[in-house]
């Protein structure tokens, strides 16, 4: 109960940020927001889950086995719930591996699928950053935005290089990992166990990357569609509030805000994402409008994930893993 109380306290704190920023004027803005647009945005998130389910099935390939399309959708919803409910999304891989293992998919394969999925995301954001950098050549950006944009590019490029580097230099990495475990006074059996796990992961990861180029291209197209839809939510929220803003700006604000949320290691970036987006958006559209847009954006892209994904998580995974994730969260 204490862990749940802390999680609820964090969510309430995140809700208070736009409330304090916008004051009573924010409620006037919210009352005029079109309901059909809000429902359409929620429909976009459901479409995002469907796209990710298709992406999961493509990456699993022959290992998809008896995993039906409907269950694939449930796996995606449960995994993204865990990502939103744990620091830095740490519960996502564990949830994915747990659910897939119950459907006959080896842990090495499911972790390789997750890693490939993340690399596809990183590749998309690197392409998007290149586009924004080209945009910045012809438009003046503040020094703060330029610094955060450069930091995000460096972090994403580093993540992409780490993934490719592991596939190429796995022997050296396994030796390094063995040396670190030896310094921690672990037994030889434990070191061999982890070496086998890394080798199995590496083999599954390479096999996934060796998929036909057409399938990999389909995975990347689905990735672009997913993030294109999800990162249009803030733009539509602002348009619904009567603000005419370029899509590229709203994309950049979301990317920087969610990157700050990831670095904060708070569940779903709660609090950090709101503060960063408020700092970037308020000078452009005003405090009350920024607060209303942030509340709508986070309600659709964060709180909806928790509300809709929670029951699916409990149905597919169960309470024991939820308790384990909560213990990890407060370890």
pLDDT tens track for 25-52: 888 888 889 999 999 999 999 999 999 9
CA distance 194 to 189: 9
4 exposure class (CB count in 10 Å sphere: 0-12, 13-18, 19+): exposed
pLDDT, tens digit (0-9, with 9 covering 90-100), for 222-260: 999 999 999 999 999 999 999 888 887 888 888 888 877
Closest by CA position to 21, among listed 293, 231, 255? 293
pLDDT of residue 102: 83
What token pair was written down for 200?
A: 């199995």
pTM: 0.80
pLDDT, tens digit (0-9, with 9 covering 90-100), for 140-170: 665 556 666 666 666 666 666 666 665 566 5
Closest by CA position to 241, among listed 231, 249, 233? 233
Q: What is the mean pLDDT of residues 106-115?
A: 79
Q: Hey, how many other C-beta atoms are within 10 angstroms of the C-beta on 325? A: 23
Q: Is the pLDDT of residue 130 over 90?
A: no
């Amino acid at each position: 109960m204490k862990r749940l109380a802390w999680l609820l306290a964090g969510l309430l704190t995140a809700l208070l940020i736009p409330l304090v920023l916008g004051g009573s004027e924010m409620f006037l803005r919210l009352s005029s927001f079109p309901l059909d647009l809000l429902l359409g945005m929620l429909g976009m998130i459901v479409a995002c889950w469907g796209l990710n389910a298709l992406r999961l099935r493509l990456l699993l390939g022959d290992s998809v086995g008896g995993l039906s399309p409907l269950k694939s959708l449930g796996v995606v919803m449960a995994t993204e719930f865990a990502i939103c409910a744990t620091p830095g999304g740490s519960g996502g891989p564990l949830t994915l591996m747990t659910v897939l293992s119950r459907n006959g998919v080896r842990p090495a394969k499911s972790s390789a699928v997750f890693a490939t999925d993340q690399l596809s995301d990183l590749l998309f954001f690197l392409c998007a950053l290149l586009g924004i950098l080209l945009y910045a050549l012809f438009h003046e950006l503040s020094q703060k935005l330029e610094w955060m944009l450069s930091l995000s590019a460096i972090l994403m490029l580093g993540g992409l290089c780490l993934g490719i580097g592991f596939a190429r230099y796995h022997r050296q990495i396994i030796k390094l990992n063995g040396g670190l475990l030896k310094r921690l006074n672990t037994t030889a059996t434990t070191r061999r166990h982890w070496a086998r796990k890394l080798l199995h992961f590496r083999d599954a990861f390479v096999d996934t990357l060796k998929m036909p180029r057409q399938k990999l291209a389909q995975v990347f197209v689905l990735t672009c569609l997913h993030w294109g839809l999800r990162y249009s939510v803030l733009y539509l929220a602002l348009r619904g509030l009567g603000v005419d803003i370029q899509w590229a700006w709203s994309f950049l604000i979301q990317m920087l805000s969610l990157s700050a949320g990831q670095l904060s290691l708070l569940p779903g970036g709660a609090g950090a994402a709101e503060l960063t987006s408020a700092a970037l958006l308020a000078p452009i559209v005003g405090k009350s409008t920024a607060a209303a847009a942030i509340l709508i954006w986070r309600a659709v892209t964060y709180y909806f994930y928790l509300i809709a994904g929670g029951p699916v998580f409990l149905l597919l995974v169960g309470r024991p893993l939820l308790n384990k994730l909560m213990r990890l969260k407060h370890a």
